[in-house]
Each structure stands twice: as C-alpha cells, then as structure tokens.
Structure 1
Amino acid sequence: MSATPSTAVHPTQAGLPGERVMPHAPLVRLPSGMDCIPQHYVTYHHDLASLSEIAARVSFDAHTLVFASQDEHGMHIQIGLIGRENYDRGQAVRPAKLVYGRKWRIDADTPSSEIVQTIFLAIKKAREHEVRELLTLRDGRHGASSAALSNHLDLPMLVQQRQWLTHARVNNATDAERVQHVLAGLRFAQRTLHLRSLHFFGGQAWVEVTLGEQAPGRAEEGDLPEFADLRLCVRFDPSQPHQLIYELMDALIQHSDRHVDETFLFDGFARFSRQIDPRLLARLSIASRPYGRDQGNTRFYSGFQRANYDTDAGRAPHLGTGALAQRNRRLIEAHPTLQGHMPRGFLTPERGRHA
C-alpha cells in the first residue's frame, strides 16, 4: 500500500469486489499516515465475477495462466502451464503443450487476500509438479530413466513393496565415489549435474553442483530460463548416498519457489518478495489490529465478534461416517476441554451438544 495523505480513506486495503465493510467499522491509522479499514473489519461475499476480477489482477509470466471457474461443486482457481512434454526426452524441438494443475476450491466467504495467496500457492505447486518430473535418474541395469520423485507413482504398489524399498544395499565404494556415482545418473531437464566441490565435515558431506548446458532443442524451446547457470549447495549424510537426490530435489524446488516469490505480482506489487522487510510488515500488522481500542466501540465490536464466530463455524466440516470419522472422534474426545468449533455431527455426552 503506497503512502497517502492522512486524509485519504480507503474502504478496504485493496478496494476489491465481493467485500462489505462491517457496520460502524472504525478507521485505522497506519504508520504511513494512511487511514483505512483493514480486511478483518470486512465481510466477504465472493462470486465468480469477483473471483475472476481478483485473479485478473495477478500477473506472473507468459507461460502461466490463472483460471477462475465454477462447477457443480463451487468456485475454484486452476493454473495452466504452457510448456513441453516432460517425458519426451528426444533431441528435437517439442511442440508447446497446455497442462492444468489441480482445482483449488474457493468459498464465497474467503478473504480476498487469501484468494491471492491461494493463487500464489497454486502456481508454486504447479511448478513443483513440473520440477519433480524434470529430475530424472538413470537405472544402470536397464539404461532407462525415471522421474522417481514425481507425483505419478503408484502408492498402493509402493506400500506392497515397502520392505524391498527400504532394504539397505551394501556398497563398498568410498564416500566420494558414491557421490560421483549418484550425480552421473542424474539429469535435470536433460542437463547433466557437474560436481564443483565436495567436502566432508562433522559426519556430513557438503556438495556443490552446477547444471550443464542445455541440449540444442531444449535451448531453442526456451523453457525455465531461471534455472540457467544455477549453482546448488547441499549437505547430506554420506553413509546414505541416496539422500543426495532428495537434497538436490529440495534445492531445485526451493529455487523455483524463490522465483515465484520475486515474480508473482498483485496489482503490480511483489507481495511475497524477499525485498520486503518483515519488520515493516510487523509494524503494519500491529497497527492494523487495534482491538484493545475498538472493544470499547460497542456498536461495532459485537457485530465484529458475531461475524468472526459465524465465519469460523461455517468452516467446520461434517464428521462423516466410517473409519475416518471414528478416528477423528477418538482424537477429539482425547481432549475433553477442547475449544473451537467441533465438526458437524459430533456429539458427546460431556458436551451434550453439536459444536
């Protein structure tokens, strides 16, 4: 929020559709000198039109689309990515392809800031899905490659294979040889991973790697330029060389997440940029919540408390039936003084009511 003269009044922090100021809501003076009514003194009544307008004020890059849609289950946000088929690892230039992430449900009473944060998280997770498919391991026995840490593995099959998957393999190679062997079988977006430095200290291995050059076809496609010239530094237990693969995956995902932090804009503002000082965010947050002052405003505060109660109560899920409901009931009943809104359909003699 840009600084304005103290006489300026903004009904809400962003003036977004689908918002209604609570009756008798007081103004709050911010450190910048602006007077405003903050989001927690607002109720939300979003529909597809207001959701779409908020989504339209988000920008990221030319390969990422934000969709606001509605189906029989309600409103949702969905991310579309324009890219290439990750599992086509040939050398030729591949045609562009539009793929979609999961649907992120949005309730009508979702605060506008949370809608923006949902879009932000949806972009991060859609990109993480792609990053996980791009790190491949070559199986020396068959010469084939697999995106072993992708989201497309058969979980019931893995459960059946749990003993085989966790059985320790004997390897008599030195720690340095194990690191070299692991790196030799890895590719990221068909790039090799080059070892730049390797140190052992305190029972840990400290590894620095860089990504190799792109294949000509991949360079011509121009995907993921933020990974160019990337240098990764990770540490792991050298007695478990497979841990290096997990650490590299975490580092690649973190790099993708940081790119989203700095590139994601709402109304042209990089809300999640690391350039923003959290100490200043804290000052704004504290100034925007003068609850001690506003408790004395009886015309406003009773309505404020009632609105918060109704919102929280409306978010309580149904307990349901079956094994999951029984387990959740046991966990809840283990806390006889538990506060908050209980699931709908939950009833105990001690409480004597649906909470």
Structure 2
Amino acid sequence: MVEDISLRLGEQVMPNAPKVLLSNGNYCVPQHYLTYHHTLQSVEALIVDIEYDPRYIVFAAQEGEGIYIQVGVIGHDNYHKKSSKKISQEKLLFGRKWRVEPELPTSEIIQSVFLAIKKSREHEVRELFKLSLQHSTTTPFNTHIDLPLMAEFYEQQSTLVRSAEQSPSKDAINNILDKISYDHSDLTLVDFQQRNNGLWLVDVKVEQTAKSTLPEMRDKTVYLMIEEISLNALSRALMQEFVKLSDLHVDQHFSYQGFHRFDPNIDIQDIADLSQQTRKQELALQFANEFSKTNQKVDLMRIPTVQSGLLFQKHEQVIKQFQLPTL
C-alpha cells in the first residue's frame, strides 16, 4: 500500500493524479500534478525553511489581496556623508517588492526568494565599486543613476576628456587600477598578456583591508579577458566578475530545508535524472484531460488585463508581426 503523500501549505493534488515511485524507493506527487492556492501563511512557512546570510532578511507581507516578498539588508548606508569621523550606524535597508501569485508553484516561490536575494546583493555590490575621477569618488555602476535623464541628455561626443585606450604596459594598467577600489579593497596587477586573437588576459589581485566585508573576495585573484587596455574596459570587466562572484556566493550558500539547490557542486546529471523520473509517466485518459484543463486555466490566469493606449498599440504591432492570437 502506498503511503499518503505529505503536502505543504497551499498545495493540493489534482483529482486522480498518479503517484510516482522514485529510485530511492519513495513515492511522490510531482509539482506539475499539483494545484496551488498560496496565502501569506504558506509563503511565510516556506521562508522559515530558507537560509542564506543573516544579514539578508526575507519578509513576506500582504497589500490588499496581493502577497509579496521583500529583502531587507543589514548594512551601512553606502551614500552616508563622511563629513565626520563617525562610522555610519548599521540599519535595515529594504529592496524592491516581489509579487507572489497565489497559483505559483511552491518551488517557484522559493526560487523567487533566491532571485530576490541575488538582486539585493548585486545592488549592494554595484555600490561598492568606486572610481576616482576628476578629484572626486563616484559609483558609476550603482542602480540609482537617473536613466531617463541619461537617455535624454547623454551625448557620445561630450566635452568630457575621456581616458583613451592605453599603451599595453604594467604601469598603464596599474595607473587604471589605482583609480578603482572595491569594497574598501585595493586592486593590484599580477600579470597580463595578449593572445593571438588580440584579446588581453589581465590577472588582478584583490587585497582586502580591515573595512572589507565581502567573504567571496578573500584572497581572490580575478582573471579578466578584455579587448583593450582602457579604464572603461577594465572597469566593466571587473564589475562583471564581481557580480559573477556575488551570484556564486548566493548559489553556494542559499538553502531550503538545508538543501543547497543551486550549488554548482551538485552534479547536473543527478538533477536531470530526478527530473526525468518525475516526468516519465503515462497518464490515464481521465487524468490527462484534467491535467490539460488545469494547465490551461493557470495559463489564462497569467494573461494581463490590457488597457487601450500607447503601450497596447506597441504590443499590438508585435502580435500582428508574429501572427499571434489577440489578447
């Protein structure tokens, strides 16, 4: 006799859904045979089982009938005015709200939390990249720069004296790195060379100080591949690598019920094998019809309510271009 399958809050089994026998001897009802009716209580229950870094606090809340998750980060205000010698006090800084639809599968809610943490951390990481330019310190990769203003006023040929491509030398690269700091760390050149295809390989050592906070940068050397030796190319390559390392840190340390789903050390073949086990199933005709109707119902719920206007006219052109059914 097959034991009853335990469900989480907000989950229901579709009528006549099959139970799948896994290779470990346990039965399960795969998530694609479930329906979902999540509430604030069920979302909170999921977050309780999520761990990452205690400085990243995940909240769940409700506005009207809508549920959302939001990440609070314990840290210093990166734009605190340092007019005095006092160190800015740590506080809880809040990121954007991430909407959670009630019909969203449980796994996707967990992944939404994962993504919210990633993007909250990237937000902080981008503000930790500092560039000394024209006798001032800026954070050119921060996400608070006025984008509409840039789109309206930015000119490719401006009066700003730009740092052009540098002659490829150790001194030239070190002069560029002297203008850059990241998380209160110093950047020093280890080695550089040009490949036969013209690309430059640049190895940069990140030397942390007492004020540095990011654990993934401890004793770290980053390996860059750039098209030219210039401030712009080096800065963008460094920022790309710093974001990559931040994402990897979340991949390795984010867990649900102690399981690190996104850790690269989990063999991709094992993930593929489990997925295959849950989908190799011949469905009885009665359930196949129910399964199809349920999926269609969920798909219809995801169609946005469209109002007439400029945005609708823009979308209408795309719909006509691809000969899609009208909304």
Normalising by structure 2, what TM-score?
0.92
Partner Cα separation in structure 2 for residue 162 and residue 316 of structure 1: 39
Q: 2:118 touches 2:247 (CA, 8 Å); kept in 1?
A: yes
Match of 1:146? 138
Q: Which residue of 92, 95, 98 corresponds with 2:89?
A: 95
> Aligned equivalents of 1:23 and 1:165: distance in 2?
66
Q: SS of the residue aligned with 2:279?
A: coil
Amino acid at match of 1:238: E
1:116 alignment counterpart: 110
**Pick aligned residue for 1:189 from 180, 183, 192:** 183
1:88: how far off? 3.8
| Aligned residue among 188, 198, 220 for 2:192 | 198
Corresponding residue for residue 162 of structure 1: 155
Helix, strand or coil at the partner of 1:120: helix
Give, in whole Å, the separation in 1 of the partners of 2:109 and 2:88: 34
Kept in 2, the 8 Å contact 1:236–1:243? The answer is: yes
Structure 2 equivalent of residue 106 of structure 1: 100
> Post-superposition shift, 1:271?
0.9
Contact 2:17 2:33 in 1 (8 A): yes
| Unaligned 5+ runs, structure 2 | none
The residue number in structure 1 matching 2:207 is 212
- 1:135 is the counterpart of 2:123: no
In the alignment, the residues of structure 1 paired with residue 48 and residue 186 of structure 2 have an alpha-carbon distance, to the nearest angstrom, of: 38
- Note the C-alpha offset of 1:32: 2.2
The answer on whether the counterparts of 1:66 and 1:78 sit within 8 Å (CA) in structure 2 is yes
- Return 5+ residue gaps in structure 1 as ranges: 1-6, 347-354
- Deviation digits for residues 206-227 of structure 1, max 9, x if unmatched? 111111231x4x25xxx32332
Distance 1:290 1:170 in 2: 59
**1:1-355 superposed matches below 5 A:** 9=3, 11=5, 15-72=7-64, 74-88=66-80, 93-139=87-133, 141=134, 143-159=135-151, 160-164=153-157, 169=162, 171=164, 173-176=166-169, 177-201=171-195, 202-214=197-209, 216=210, 218=211, 223-238=213-228, 240-291=230-281, 293-294=282-283, 297-336=284-323, 338=324, 346=326, 355=327
Q: 1:133 to 1:172 in 2, by over 3 A?
A: closer
Change (3 A) 1:261 1:318: same
- Aligned equivalents of 2:72 and 2:206: distance in 1? 27
Preserved CA contact (<8 Å) 1:194 1:210: yes
Look up the SS of the partner of 2:219 in the other structure.
coil
Instruction: Give the Å deviation of 1:241.
Output: 4.3
Query: CA 1:114 to 1:173, structure 2 compared with 1: closer, same or farther past 3 Å?
Result: closer
Q: Which residue of 2 aligns with 1:349?
A: none
> Whole-Å Cα distance in 2 between the matches of residues 167 and 326 of structure 1?
39
1:45-70 per-residue CA deviation (whole Å, 9 max, x = no partner) reads 00111111111111111211010111
Moved more, 73-82 or 315-324: 315-324
Q: How many residues align?
A: 322
- What is the deviation of 1:87? 2.6
Which letter maps to 2:143?
N
CA displacement 1:279-336 (0-9 Å, x = unmatched): 1111111110134x11xx1221111111000001110112322221111111011122
Cα drift, residue 168 of structure 1? 9.3
Is the CA contact (8 Å cut-off) linking 2:165 and 2:230 kept in structure 1?
no
For 1:103 and 1:162, the matched residues in 2 are separated by 34
Residue 299 to residue 150, structure 1, CA distance change in 2 (3 Å): same
Q: Is the 8 A contact 1:135 1:249 kept in 2?
A: yes
Query: Could you tell me how far apart the structure 1 residues matched to 2:164 and 2:208 are?
Result: 31
CA distance in 2, matches of 1:298, 1:166: 71
Q: Which moved more, 1:94-103 or 1:144-153?
A: 94-103
Give the root-mean-square deviation of aligned CA atoms: 2.2
Seen in structure 2, the aligned counterparts of structure 1 residues 165 and 147 have a Cα distance that, compared at 3 Å, is: farther
Percent identity of paired positions between Structure 1 and Structure 2: 34
Q: 1:88 to 1:195 in 2, by over 3 A?
A: farther
- CA distance in 2 between counterparts of 1:89 and 1:41 reads 54
